[in-house]
Amino acid sequence: MIDRSWRLEAVRVCAAGERDKTLLTIKEKLVFKEGTITLLIGSNGAGKSTLLETMAGLRRLNEGQIAIGADLLWVGRRRRLSRSVVLNTGIALQHSESQWFAATVKEELLYSLKPYKLEPPERERRLHHALQAAGLPAELLARDPWSLSGGQQRRLALACLLACEPQWLLLDEPTAGLDAEGISRLCAVLAAHKAAGRGAVVATHDPGALLPLADEVVVVARGSVREAVAASAWANAHAADAAAPQALRALAKLRGFAAQPPGGGAAVWPAPEALAAAIHAAAAQPQSGRAAAPAAAALPGAAALPHAAPKAPPAMELRPSPGAAEPAAADVSPPLPTTKRRPLPPAQHPAQRLATRFDPRALIAAYMLLAATIIMQHSWSGLLLAGALAAAIWLPLRTQMRTWLGFIRAYALIILLFGVVAGAHIQPLSFDWEQSARTMLRLATLFCAMLLGLPMLLLMTPLRIQRALEQTFGWMSRFKVPISSITLTVTLIFRFIPLLLKEWERFAKIAHARGKAITPVGALPPSMLASAIIPYIRSILRMAEQMAEALEARGFGNSDIRVTRGFQLRFGRQDILMLGAALIVSAVLYMWATI
């Protein structure tokens, strides 16, 4: 039989374009065995989504190997993904609702099935089966997915996954927003998936609902796997936690009496009545009788009865941490001191610190001075000087500016291209080097001025820009110039640019996952661009609508409300020093350009 287990070995994943910012490390080997369900748990920001996305090929792998059985996820020197692994994996990202690409629920399901190139009858079968499994009535097929309720959209996201019948399901927070019936359905779907010999890895903050189905629990903390244990061992260790699910605590109580749980540890929670009756009966038994009961009554969980019966080796082959050793049967109360850590206060980004140091008016004035004198340069030595200045400003901010590197490379290529086009003559076929150099010099000086401007985006927060504009041009409101509306518009534009980029990243990722692209995630194939752009625009419009509502709720546009100002910008010593330095440098650049 072909082995279809996931293997992750010596994996390291960094933030896009930031090789020194590691988001995920798996030092040794992590194996998810086929036919098992693993819960990924850990606090907010621990790295669960990053792990799932890495397994689905939605994050570039900086080091290590990932494979399903003998099929490597990344092939061709990590330039593309293995089609067979991608087709065998179905991932539901966090917020899997709000990902719709089509006009109707039916088209949405068909969109998911497109990469599988199925015959029409098979497509129809899968579509109806998935709809039924997710608990969505067929009447919804003609509806706009965006018009469904939040929970229905979650179910549709699940149906889209199920229609593909993947070997592996990777689910990120699948219970969020689901009602009790939805959670039961999800459990049934997972149980059926597992019974068919397939596997699932589920990131969740709600282990209570899924624990009875789980074989393994992997605890993720600070971007690495802290422990990987059998689900029953994890449940035993955490049954006495204040936040443990009631059923788990009740089962722990029962286990305290050394009694068997009703149903013999089947892969569902026992009915509350049965559980209550079992506790009542066990409590009523004389002490001596209890001692005779099997000492190994354990908590439920599919393959998770390690004390009750010998079982297959655990799915995880990761070396368990010392705290992860299975506790003795009676040892249910003390929780493992593993997953709880006091969260560290968020460290302030150096750029954020700088952003509050300078007055935006001083920054803009300094930039205008320098940019004007850079553009004046018409010699290669002047360009070199301007380049050195831009590099000196970039150097301390290089880590934060990495996201712009792709854009800069593209611009540098455009300069070269324009240089070639400007110098080329067809009749007679010749190349005018002087003309080419002139064009490139012109474009390169503009490029330097722009390079100098980019760090400004980091050094000014939108709110401070708004205050700077209000303080500088506030006097115009006396002449009925709508200055506060103008400043608000400018601020919103500044706020929206990073938001637009982030939302595009999210949609590109969704399009990549649903379209089963085999290119690296940053390089969406052109055929998928069209399907991602329309929902992206819709999402942006939705965000704009929400923002308008939020502004209205805060009283913007209501002239009766007295406007309050959070803070006042002051021109400080550091601003004067910076302006002075800019003046000196621009004087040098001016002289260089005019001699």
Ligand X SMILES: Nc1ncnc2c1ncn2[C@@H]1O[C@H](COP(=O)(O)OP(=O)(O)OP(=O)(O)O)[C@@H](O)[C@H]1O
| Region binding ligand X by CB under 6 A among candidate stretches 38-46, 280-288, 339-347, 361-369 | 38-46
The CB-of-19 to ligand X minimum distance in angstroms stands at 12
Stretch that binds ligand X, among 46-54, 64-72, 115-123, 207-215 (CB under 6 A): 46-54
Q: Which stretch binds ligand X (CB under 6 A): 40-48, 426-434, 455-463, 479-487?
A: 40-48
**What sign does the dihedral 423-426-431-435 (CA atoms) show?**
negative
Which is nearest to 56 in space by CA: 200, 217, 163, 190?
Answer: 200
List phi, psi (to 5°) of 95. Answer: 55, 50
Rg (CA), the chain: 30
Do 286 and 257 form a contact (C-beta atoms < 8 A)? Answer: no
Show the CA angle centred on residue 591, arms to residues 587 and 592, nearest 5°: 115
- Per rule CB under 6 A, count of chain residues that contact ligand X: 12
Of 566, 576, 565, the closest CA to residue 363 belongs to 576
Using the structure block, give the residue that is written with the tokens 């050394």: 258
Contacts of 348 (CB under 8 A, 6+ apart): none
Q: Where are the alpha helices (DSSP H) in 521-572?
A: 526-553
Q: Assess 54 for contact with ligand X (CB under 6 A).
A: no
Shortest reach from residue 203's CB to ligand X, in Å: 6
The answer to whether 12 touches 64, Cβ cutoff 8 Å, is yes
44 binds ligand X (CB under 6 A): yes
- By CB under 6 A, the residues from 9 to 28 that bind ligand X are 15-16, 23
Q: Tokens 């009676």 — which residue?
A: 330
CB neighbourhood size of 25 (10 A) = 18
Q: What is the rounded distance in angstroms from the CA atom of residue 28 to the CA atom of residue 10? A: 5
Q: Determine, following the binding rule CB under 6 A, whether residue 512 of this chain makes contact with ligand X.
A: no
Among 7, 33, 48, 193, binds ligand X (CB under 6 A): 48
What gap in Å lies between CA 568 and CA 185, rounded to an integer?
A: 55
> Which position among 13, 30, 42, 260 is part of the footprint of ligand X (CB under 6 A)?
42
**Cβ–Cβ under 8 Å, residues 260 and 298:** no
Smallest gap from residue 205 Cβ to ligand X (A): 6
Under the binding rule (CB under 6 A), the answer on residue 35 touching ligand X is no
Alpha helices in 102-230 (DSSP H): 105-113, 120-134, 150-163, 180-195, 207-210
Let me know: does 351 contact 397? Beta carbons within 8 Å: yes
Shorter beta-carbon distance to ligand X: residue 21 or 542: 21
List the one residue out of 326, 334, 329 whose CA is nearest residue 259: 329
Under 8 Å between Cβ of 238 and 244: yes
Q: Which is nearer to ligand X, 49 or 175 (CB)?
A: 49
Residue closer to ligand X, measured from CB, 132 or 403? 403
The distance of closest approach from Cβ of residue 201 to ligand X in the complex, given in angstroms and rounded to an integer, is 13
Please report how close the Cβ of residue 22 comes to ligand X at its closest, in angstroms. 9
Provide the minimum distance between the beta carbon of 530 and ligand X in the complex, in angstroms, as a whole number: 25
User: Of 111, 159, 121, 100, nearest to 539 (Cα)?
Assistant: 100
Closest approach of ligand X to the CB of residue 45, in Å: 4
> Letter for the amino acid at 419?
G
- State which of positions 82-121 bind ligand X (CB under 6 A): 94
| Nearer residue to ligand X within complex by CB, 35 or 223 | 223
What length is written for the chain? 595
Q: Is 49 in the site for ligand X (CB under 6 A)?
A: yes
Closer to ligand X by Cβ: residue 2 or 344: 344
Smallest distance from ligand X to CB 160, Å: 21
127 three-class SS? helix
Least distance in Å: CB of 17 to ligand X?
9
* Type of residue found at 80: R
Contact flag: residue 47 with ligand X (CB under 6 A): yes
455/400 Cα distance (integer angstroms): 9
Q: Measured from the CB atom, is 222 or 538 closer to ligand X? A: 222
Contacting residue, 11, 46, 278, 459, with ligand X by CB under 6 A: 46
Please, which residue, 407 or 475, has the CB nearer to ligand X?
Answer: 407
Nearer to ligand X among residue 94 and residue 477 (C-beta): 94
x/- track of binding to ligand X for residues 430-469 (CB under 6 A): ----------------------------------------
**Kind of pairing between the strands at 430-431 and 424-425:** antiparallel
**Rule CB under 6 A: which of 228-287 touch ligand X?**
none
219/366 with CB nearer ligand X: 219
Name the minimum Å distance from CB 99 to ligand X.
Answer: 16
Tell me if 423 contacts ligand X by CB under 6 A.
Answer: no
Among 43-51, 65-73, 153-161, 543-551, which window interacts with ligand X (CB under 6 A)? Answer: 43-51
Binding residues vs ligand X (CB under 6 A):
15-16, 23, 42, 44-50, 94
